Amino acid sequence: SGIAILAIDGPSASGKGSVAQRVAEALGFAYLDSGALYRLTALAAQEAGIDWSDEQGLAQIAQSLDVRFEKDLTFLGGQDVSGLIRSEVVGAGASKVAAFAAVRQALLARQRNFAVAPGLVADGRDMGSVVFPGARLKIFLTATATVRAERRYQQLIARGESADLVAITRDLQSRDERDAARKEAPLRQWDDALLLETSQLSLDQVVECVLSWWKTRT
């Protein structure tokens, strides 16, 4: 099709969300935060009293998610859950529900629907491998565990939340391990993805790098 896809995958707190958003804006493309869909599934399940281990129940929830993205805000059944889905608890829940094949299957079509002309920037764990295997450019964006924990810590502090660097580091590690060890769409740098190690780079520098790579593909 004529729709250009830029896939950015990577571990949690790698900064891929901020980068993807900025790149989408610069290119005039749509943006898909696929992690938000897993977070919303975990949250909606919790609110419906469905256990994070109930694969079929979760798949039902994922299938029928009533979600709306509006600028920086995310609505679930009309309720603004933008802050709620960013919590560490919901993030851990997202990683649990995301391990189920039925949940991933239920979210597949919804993710692909984000691809509209002239293009889409999508971030997650399996954008370049499963959801958009034909993406024009695939990037694996990462940073060391220490740098990612520090970035998440600063983010929480900036939002006025309390944060504990040791706990954050531990949570990131267990989430990454679960995401990498799972059978379904594991977190991994795939052969056709370019590695972008951002530990020593500013957000501006990362955005510039992605845009320059994109230019070579157009």
The owner of tokens 């889905």 is: 85
Residues in the chain: 218
Q: Which is nearer to ligand C5P, 12 or 142 (CB)?
A: 12
Closest separation between CB of residue 18 and ligand C5P, Å?
A: 12
The Cα 213–Cα 218 span in angstroms is: 9
Residue 83, marked binder: no
Q: Do residues 68 and 58 make contact, with C-beta atoms less than 8 angstroms apart? A: no
Measured from the CB atom, the residue of 63 and 216 that comes closer to ligand C5P is 63
Amino acid identity of residue 135, one-letter, is A
Residues 107-166 that bind ligand C5P (CB under 6 A): 124-126
Cβ nearer to ligand C5P, comparing 34 with 198: 34
Residues 100 and 85: their CA atoms lie apart, in Å, by 19
138 is in an annotated binding site: no
16 belongs to an annotated ligand binding site: yes
Q: Is the peptide bond before 118 cis (omega within 30 degrees of 0)?
A: yes
38 touches ligand C5P by CB under 6 A: yes
Site residues (vs ligand C5P, CB under 6 A): 12, 34-35, 38-39, 91, 94-95, 98, 124-126, 175, 179
